[in-house]
Structure 1
Amino acid sequence: MPGVRIFLGLLAALAACGVVAFVGYCVYFDWKRRGDPAFKRRLRDKRRAEQPKTKERGAQLWNPANEKLQELFLQEIRMGELWLSRGEHRMGVDHLSNALLMCGQPQELLKAFKHILPPRVFEMLLHKILLICQQFEADMNEQKYLEDDPD
C-alpha cells in the first residue's frame, strides 16, 4: 500500500499549498485595500459620522433643558448640604451620591466635592459610590442570568 501513502502525502501537501495560497491571497488583498487612499477616506468619514451619535446618546441621558431633572438635582445637592451642616454625614452623603447619579458630568462634580467636602466625608462619598456601582453590577449580572435561564 505504498501507493496509497504517497497519494495521501501528495493530497496533504496539495491541501497545505492551497491553505498557504489562500492566506497569501487574503494578506495581499488586505494590504492593497488598506493602502488605498479611498479606503482610508471612507473609514475616516465613517468614524466622523459615528462620533455625533455617541454624543447624542449621552445627551439623551442628561438633558440640561429638562427642568424637573435640574430641580431634582439641585434639591439633592441642597439636602446633602443641609444634612452635612447638621452633622449627619451619612444622610448628607446619601443625597450627594444621588446628585452624582443624576449629574451629566459626574467627574467634574466629584472634583468640586473633593475641594469642598472635608476629607472624611469625601471618602464616605467615594465608598458610597463604590457600593452603588457594585450593586448595579450585581443587579445587571442577575438580570443577565435570569434572561439566559431557559426555565
Structure 2
Amino acid sequence: MSLNQTIRTAGLVTAIAALVGYAIYFDYKRRNDVDFRKKLRRQQKKVTKSAIAEQGTSNPEITQAELLQKVRAIKKEKFPTSAEEREQYFTTHVNQAEQLHLRGEELPSALHFYRALCVYPNPTDLLQLYQRVISPPVFKLLIEMWTLGATDTISSDDLGSPETKPKTTASGPSSETSSQEWENLMDSNIRL
C-alpha cells in the first residue's frame, strides 16, 4: 500500500467516524434535551412554511366564509348578455386563469375559472373538461365555489344577470309555474 492510499483511507475512516459520532450525539440530544427538541420543531415549522411559499400557493388555507364572500362578489358582477360578449368574457377569463394556474396561484386561478363557468352554456361539460386539465387543488376550489354558488341564497335581483329559471319563493314555485301545473293536472283529470 502506498502512502497516498494510506492517507486517503485514514481520512475516509476519520470522516466516517466523525459522521457516526455526530449522529450518536444528535440522537442523544434529541432524546434527552427538551430545549433541543423544541428548537428542532421550530426549525421544522420554518422549513415547512418556506416550502409552501416556494410552491407558490397564494392562499393555502381559505375558509368557507371567505370563499362564499368571493363567490357572492362574482355573482354580483354584471355578466354579458349577448352570445358574442359571453364568448369574449369566457375566453378572457379562461386565459387569465390558465396563466395564473401556470404560476401556481391557486385561488386567483380558480376564481377566473369560476367566472368562465358562470357564463358557459353547459357548465357540467365544462366541469368535466376542467377536471381533466387543471390541478386537483384548483379543481377542488372550483367545485367548492360552484357548490357554494348553487346553494347560496342570494336573490336574483342582486345577481345583475338575467335568470333563466323561474323565480321561486320560500313557499314554492312562482304562481305562473303553479298555474301551469294546475292546468296539466286538470287536463289529465278531464281525460279520465
Shorter-chain TM band: 0.3 to 0.5
Q: With structure 2 as the length reference, what TM-score do the two structures score?
A: 0.38
Q: With structure 1 as the length reference, what TM-score do the two structures score?
A: 0.47
Higher RCO (C-alpha under 8 Å, 6+ residues apart): 2
